[in-house]
Amino acid sequence: MDSPKERLYNGIVKENPIFVLVLGICPTLAVTTSAMNGLGMGLSTTLVLALSNALISALRKMIPDRVRMPAFIVVVASFVTIVQFLIQGYLPSLYDSLGIYIPLIVVNCIILGRAESYASKNPVIPSLFDGLGMGLGFTLSLIFIGSVRELLGSGSIFGAQILPLADKAAGKAGYTPISIFVLAPGAFFILALLVVIMNIVREKQAAKGKPLAPVANSCLCNDEDALEDAVKSDNPNVKEAIDNLKEKQKEAEGK
Amino acid sequence: MKELAIIFIGSFIVNNVLLSQFLGLCSFLGVSKKTSTAVGMGGAVTFVITIASIVAGLLYRYILVPTGFEYLDTIVFILVIAALVQIVEMFLKKNAHALYSALGVYLPLITTNCAVLGVALKNVTNNYNILQGVIYGLGTGLGYFLAIVILAGIREKYKYNDYPKYFKGTAMTLITAGLMSIAFFGFSGMI
């Protein structure tokens, strides 16, 4: 059995969902306009992830294999609805700035991915900590990306002014915010740079003989090559999709 | 009529689902290697989003609201979309084989696409009626189609070019998407 401490380390460092596995890109790009939004989104996802992991793990012997995906989705969606109400009730300003991305936690690949690959096979306590670790890894990454974007885009972190702003009228020298970084294109650029840095780290670690965990494909949303790789992960859904793909291709070639 | 046109243009290009709202990015980055695949994926997403916004709109208006269960919208919508994708696939297989051979491969990939759930939920938060919801869904789907086909076209162009090896794959795709996103900013004054 995996110890809670090992699970936390695994989620935050070894298999960090964003930096290492590159999962859950949609919310990562959308809500990291500031460090505060990143923190809010990260913690809501952590809560959903830990609770749904624990419940799915507790129910794992009762859920028939064939309907497990819909069952997981119902569990996750229920927790998301609860979290949505909590945020709406107690943190209305955060609710306004995250908007539609709170209910969309349901389709975050990280959550279903962990339910499928860990919680449905392991006891409750490790699953709970697996969810916590993954969630904290996600939160820390979001805070990091949010801080970089906020710093470049408005010169502040968590709303506190770090770089003194230039003031032309008063003739004061200082930082001129690059506002594109808090807008949509900046999100793509920052994530691109992050992927490049991780590619370099990946190569360095592989040269040392300590390769990082491979980029995950559990989303069912990658291209054909990626789907082929995912077959090895033994996910029946992916397998089905690939069998379908191959059949279609054969049919198409036959014509 | 004017209002419908504004909803359509707004969701189609001004607030593009991929480039300014970041919904459905997984498939945008993953299935954009070849233009032919991108066209298939775009078509399938447009099709499913449009149908899903009709079904979700009807369910919300005529079942959830009268029974007072509006707060269950997330759970209901995600289950309905999952079931709907399956039904659409079966229906097309049996009755519209030409359409099925064009879109069928991509349908299983769409259940977890957050653009579909996103549109269903936005129709509710924006208080759209059924017709407005369908137009919004269609515009969003076509916006997805436009963006993914353009990205695939650009990726085919630079595929054989020489650029730093650490940028190969996802990083270069993200930079391309960022530049496209800047270009789409040009539309923001339209409505």
User: To the nearest whole angstrom, how far is the Cα of A237 from the nearest Cα of chain B?
Assistant: 9
**So what's the ipTM on this one?**
0.88
Contact A31, A98 (CB under 8 A): yes
Window 23-42 of A: residues touching B by CB (8 A cutoff) are 25-27, 29-30
Question: Which DSSP symbol is given to B108?
Answer: G
Residue ranges in chain B modelled with pLDDT below 50: none
Instruction: Check A81 against B27: CB less than 8 A apart.
Output: no
Average pLDDT, integer, range A88-98: 91
Residue A233's CB is within 10 A of a number of other CB atoms, namely: 14
Give Cβ neighbours of residue A153 (< 8 Å, ≥ 6 apart). Answer: A33, A177, A178, A179, A180, A181, A182, A183, A186
**Residues A186-243: pLDDT tens digits?**
999 999 998 899 889 888 888 888 777 777 654 444 444 444 444 444 445 555 666 6
Q: Are the C-beta atoms of B53 and B120 separated by less than 8 Å?
A: yes
Residue ranges covered by each domain of chain A: 2-200, 220-254
- Model confidence band, residue A132 (pLDDT cutoffs 50, 70, 90): very high
Query: Does the beta-carbon distance from A104 to B121 stay under 8 Å?
Result: yes
Beta strands, E only, chain A: 156-157, 160-161
Mean pLDDT of A147-170: 84
Give the whole-angstrom CA distance, residue A13 versus residue A6.
10
What gap in Å lies between CA A79 and CA A76, rounded to an integer?
5
Q: Is B160 on the interface with A (CB under 8 A)?
A: no
Distant-in-sequence, close-in-space partners of A196: CB < 8 Å, separation ≥ 6: B166, B167, B171
Amino acid at residue number A113? G
Interchain CB distance below 8 Å, A196 and B166: yes
Whether the pTM exceeds 0.90: the reply is no
Query: Cβ contact (<8 Å) for B101 and A199?
Result: no
